[in-house]
């Protein structure tokens, strides 16, 4: 009788601040049975998102380069993650920014600082 190993769900964590990136990744791994991939730049995030499918993407809004919103637009336009749940995470908490992200296709919006429990609960909700 063949047994199949359970495949871990994959989450891409995108944040330009290394401390935050590591905190988010380790929080997810500690609270959920997921494999986390970390991206520190918009360009790296797009390379990863165009090369592999993820079960969820956690995306910082304020990043150097093209910025998190442009990454969201490009991920939504085509590729293996066009329908992947994307949760934006940001220190920006004005309604206009939140609405802009949701209109661009974000599935959720978390305001920094976020607790590990809230982060895990939000990702778990979108993993189904």
Q: What is the mean pLDDT of residues 77-87?
A: 96
Query: pLDDT, tens digit, for every residue of 3-58?
Result: 556 778 999 999 999 999 999 999 999 999 999 999 999 999 999 999 999 999 99
**Residue 83 DSSP code:** T
Percentage of residues in the chain having pLDDT higher than 90: 91
Token pair for 65: 């380069």
Q: What is the mean pLDDT of residues 71-76?
A: 97
Q: What is the mean pLDDT of residues 90-119?
A: 96
Cβ neighbours of residue 90 closer than 8 Å, sequence gap 6 or more: 60, 61, 62, 68, 97, 109, 110, 111, 112
User: Residue 51: its pLDDT value, please?
Assistant: 97
Q: Which fold has domain 9-127?
A: Rossmann fold (3.40.50)
User: Residue 48: its pLDDT value, please?
Assistant: 98
CA 81 to chain centroid, in Å, comes to 11
Q: What is the mean pLDDT of residues 62-70?
A: 96
- pLDDT higher than threshold 80 for residue 128: no
**What does the alpha-carbon distance between residue 100 and residue 12 come to, in Å, rounded to a whole number?**
21
β strands within the chain, DSSP E: 9-14, 34-39, 56-60, 86-90, 108-111
- pLDDT higher than threshold 60 for residue 72: yes
Q: In the chain, what are the domain boundaries?
A: 9-127
């Amino acid at each position: 009788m063949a047994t199949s190993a359970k495949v871990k769900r994959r989450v891409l964590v995108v944040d330009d601040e290394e401390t935050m990136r590591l905190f988010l990744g380790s929080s997810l791994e500690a609270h959920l049975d997921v494999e986390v991939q970390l991206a520190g730049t918009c360009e790296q995030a797009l390379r990863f998102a165009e090369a592999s499918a993820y079960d969820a993407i956690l995306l910082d809004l304020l990043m150097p380069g093209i910025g998190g919103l442009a990454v969201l637009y490009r991920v939504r336009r085509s590729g293996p993650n066009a329908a992947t749940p994307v949760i934006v995470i940001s220190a920006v908490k004005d309604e206009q920014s939140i609405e802009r992200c949701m209109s661009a296709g974000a599935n959720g919006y978390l305001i920094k600082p976020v607790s590990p429990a809230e982060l895990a609960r939000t990702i778990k909700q979108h993993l189904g």
